[in-house]
Amino acid sequence: MKLLFDLFLTFAKVGLFTFGGGYAMIALIEDTCVEKKRWITHDEMMNVTVIAESTPGPIAINCATFVGYRQKGMTGAIAATIGMVLPSFCIIFLISLFFDHFLEISWIAHAFQGIKTAVGLLILDAGIRMISKMQKKAVPITIMACAFAAMLLIDVLALPVSSFVLMLIAAAAGLFLFSVKRKESKGGGGK
Amino acid sequence: MSYGWLSDEMLTYMIAVSESTPGPIMVNLATYVGSSQAGFSGAAAATFAVVLPSFVIILLVMAILKTALKNPWVQAVLRGMKPCMVGIILATGVYMIAKNSLPMPGGMVFDGKTLLLTVLLATVYFGSRKVVGKRISPIALILISAVTGIVAYGV
């Protein structure tokens, strides 16, 4: 019961402070679930993020469900997911009831402007942490650099290409490289 | 919109609110639209509906993942996708920071204040580890940024 409550509360905290979409949340989840609570490892976190990127639905929900299930099965998954959703649900519900011009309240707009800056930094931080734990080999670094350049190009030129396309290409590249390698080792009299 | 639930203008506003308030954008938007149409029960129903598919998908993936992760072909796919995702995340971060603080096409009107704020927050966040030995938490950074935002743009 204590663990369930802990899961709920932890993800409620993450949910309350996740601004600007899923990527910013990665830094928060790394901070709480990987470093402080040690519920999942960095590598598992990478796997969830990849799965979250390639399946429909918000990354935040995917992560909460994954961590909750890992810790306490089905009830854990439900507790974590509800925790993740509840804060924003309450906030939006209150806004929809009481504020018609929520974004025109000047101090709120200013706070959001400040938060936007922080969100960019958090996403950058998530990326840097991932690089620092990546294998420093030619292939992953090349893929990373290409994806970085391509995504930046897509953003700057506002191209109508989803990041999912890049993920697909990378998956294909991974398969291709593996099959080449296998053939080579076979030809070399390996297994 | 095809249901006649919302006007164009209303939807644009709702998206703007959903983007700036905490939580996943899709979930926020569902709550907002549901609430505007049918009050609390509408909000609850819409939110539940938007969360359920991801919830189920992840449970399914987890069920097959254990065995699948041992498959060398699955490992090969992940080996390709992981660095790609790192690149995408890095690019998104860099672009967001640049769009916020530098004069860029599609960005905001250039404002020295924002650039200053970016530099300040970056120094606090990345510098805290060197000075105090421990990095401030992302939540602390969000709180600090909200306060500095109110102060910086309010005066």
Size (chain A), residues: 191
Q: What is the ipTM of this complex?
A: 0.84
Per-residue pLDDT of A40-71, as tens digits, reads: 888 888 888 888 877 777 888 888 898 899 88
CA–CA separation, A43 and A28 (whole Å): 16
Per-residue pLDDT of B29-78, as tens digits, reads: 899 888 888 888 899 999 999 899 889 988 888 888 878 888 888 889 88
Per-residue pLDDT of A88-143, as tens digits, reads: 889 888 888 887 777 778 888 888 888 888 888 888 888 888 888 888 888 888 88
**Pair A58, A22: CB distance under 8 Å:** yes
Per the model's pLDDT, the better-predicted residue between A174 and B128 turns out to be A174
Which residues, at least 6 apart from B88, have a Cβ–Cβ distance to it below 8 Å? A53, A147, A148, A151, A163, A166, A167
CA–CA separation, A176 and A42 (whole Å): 26
Residue type, A8: F
CA–CA separation, A20 and A119 (whole Å): 7
Q: Which of residues 100-129 of A touch B (CB under 8 A)?
A: 102-103, 106-107, 109-128
Structure confidence at residue A77 as a pLDDT band (50, 70, 90): very high
Q: Which residues on A lie below 8 Å from B149 (Cβ)?
A: 110-115, 117
CA–CA separation, A128 and A139 (whole Å): 18
Structure confidence at residue A76 as a pLDDT band (50, 70, 90): very high
pLDDT of residue A8: 93
CB atoms under 10 Å from CB of B45, counted, come to 14
Q: Which residues on B lie below 8 Å from A133 (Cβ)?
A: none
Question: Does the pLDDT of residue A188 top 50, yes or no?
Answer: no
Per-residue pLDDT of A155-185, as tens digits, reads: 888 888 888 888 889 889 988 988 888 887 7
Query: DSSP letters of B68-93?
Result: HTTSHHHHHHHHHHHHHHHHHHHHHH
